Chain A
Amino acid sequence: MERHDFAKPGEYTLADLMTVAASREVNDNEVVFAGTGMPMIAIMLAQRTHAPNLKLIFEAGTFDGRPNVIPTSVGDPRCEGGASRASGLCEAFSIAQRGYVDLGFLGGAEVDEYGNVNTTAIGNYLDPNLRLTGSGGNPDINSFARRTVFIMVHEARRFTRNVSYITSPGWRVKKWPSGEFVHRRELYGSAFRGGPSAVISTAGVFRFDEDTGRMYLDTYHPGKTPEEIKGLCQFDLDISRVKGETAPPNYDELHIIHEVLDKEEIFLPKPKKS
């Protein structure tokens, strides 16, 4: 087997597949904003494969880092390995608002057809079934970056017709005070730079039609079918543009994930030997 050969089913986990798919969203030389967990590994993997000149920003205030030990949060001293600067979050968000950031990786509990994401509360905000973390930097990175990629667990209750609360803005968002939905371009005006470009779920990779703002299925993970995934969305998922299966990790990528980056198995347990 060559290092760039694709691994076979059973040789990688679903989390490996998602991490590699996320890593492939990064282009070389881009400025990338990373959150805790899988996004960190995806970006550090890209740094070691196809995007050696990417510039990594952590929200708490580390810039152009080249960490060689996985941080467990963006406030971690491990973030500062090889960094150009370490300061604070007002600087990080100023840099983002100024327009330096190309790509951000984010997560969410619920997403709708237009890429609006909820991380605040499930149910009525004023009387919730479950209060979650709140926004963090999710809406900020999503407002300022040219592209954002969401990594999510795929369940029908999460791929919902209407999110309980729009924490992070998608392609069709609410215009206040009325709350009518308008295209993001109309609301953001000259501050518009882009929006959600992909959702990587445990079932597939989804993208957005920028004009209609609607999500469509781009690739399905090995073992899934487009129809099955359509059934896991409360909205009418467009599966007419599907390209095929999500490309699996190659041996080089698996080696970097498990033997270089996350040897401690903090975020990505190794595939179980069969």
Chain B
Amino acid sequence: MSSQSKRITLSEAAEIIKDGTMLTFSGFTIWRRPCALIFELIRQKRRDLHLVEVNSGPHSEFLIGAGCVKIWESCWIGHELYGKYGANLSRKVKNKEIIFEDYSHAEMGFRFLAASAGMPFIATQTSLGTDIHNPEYDMLRRAGLRNGKNPKIARKKYETMQDPFYGDGLQILLPAAKVDVAVLSVQQVGEEGTVRIGGQFFTDPEVCRAADTTIVVAEEIVPEECLRTEPRLNTIPSFQVDYIVECPYGAHPTGMFGYYDVDGDFIRNFYMQTRTQEGFDEFAREWIFGMDHTAYINKLGVDRLVNLQASRALNFSTRVKRGQK
């Protein structure tokens, strides 16, 4: 693939994600989430998405609040310090407007690890004795979706067996987390797709390989040769990436190691405002609809972005007010 052919726009990237897509993301809770692309999916009124993810955060709350999500398969959703739980998921669960499937965090991580290595399942000893393994709580089975029609939905939530090799007791077998599309929000990508992540890479290498298609939304697209002088610093090789998008502040309001900090005020306000559907709709009118990403950045304004800007030495902002002092 030639270098130019991987480069697309935010709007084109959103069009790759069709209604019903099984989708996953880079990052962790309130860090490196592809929010700009998610806002674009909401503008394009995508429906019936099946999210499969490790610990979730504001990005999925945006999608869920906007009615884009049919199934949320994960282990956690919240906003860390800035909001106790996912109010939009919570509301949709209460109103029976969404299918949810709970695993543990290690289980989700290991499921992606399995998928990333082409293993159909993986064995673990986590969460034994919990309601995560309650057979009545296999929610995709309850919804009639474990019928083999979708090749990426396992026929069971989990299976158990005794260790046949070392006699090390009860094992939980978990199906690989196979997904259609992974969207990664990262610092730098080369023109051919080489990804360089700053700081913790969370599950990004695993979710990238677990997906059939990977879209990388980067703060900067850089000349490929710049990344190839020190390959040990790169996180994902070029050929695992299908499309690249350049999008400064593409993770806002989540944080980007070395580039900008978490916008805690934005997330806290979102959490407080969107505990009702009317509140969410108002938020969406103000921050999502009727604008593109450039307009969004302009609306945030220079002062706000300068305040969030990370110290080049420390990789986080020393200006942002985090506590009461």
Contact = CB atoms under 8 A, between A and B. Distances in A.
A179 B84 CA distance: 30
Interface stretch (B6-14, B132-140, B147-155, B286-294): B132-140
Nearest to B135: A177
Secondary structure class of chain B's binding surface, majority of residues: loop
B125 A143 contact: yes
Interface in B80-101: 80-81, 84-86, 89-90, 93-94, 96, 100
Contacts of B200: 60-62, 75, 79-80, 86-88
Contact of A136 (B55, B130, B264): B55
A128 B93 contact: yes
Contact of B206 (A62, A90, A135): A90
Interface string B185-224: 0000000000000011111111000000000000000000
Contacts of B86: 131, 133
Contacts of A37: 81
A191 B110 CA distance: 17
Interface string A87-122: 111100100110000000000000000000000110
A130 B104 contact: no
B264 A169 contact: no
A169 B127 contact: yes
B169 interface: yes
Given A37-B81, A134-B76, A189-B170, A88 B130 contact: no
B105 A137 contact: yes
B109 A89 contact: yes
Interface residues of B, number: 75
B81 A136 contact: no
Which of A120, A125, A126, A134 has the most C-beta atoms of chain B within 10 angstroms of its own C-beta?
A134
Contacts of A78: 316
Contact of A266 (B105, B130, B134, B322): B322
Contacts of A134: 74-77, 102
Contacts of A210: none
B105 A73 contact: no
Interface of B: 27-32, 54-55, 74-78, 80-81, 84-86, 89-90, 93-94, 96, 100, 102-107, 109-110, 112-113, 124-137, 160, 167-170, 199-206, 255, 257-258, 262, 264, 310, 314-316, 321-325
Interface of A: 36-37, 59-62, 69, 72-80, 86-90, 93, 96-97, 120-121, 125-140, 143-144, 165-169, 173-177, 179, 182, 184, 187-191, 262-267, 269
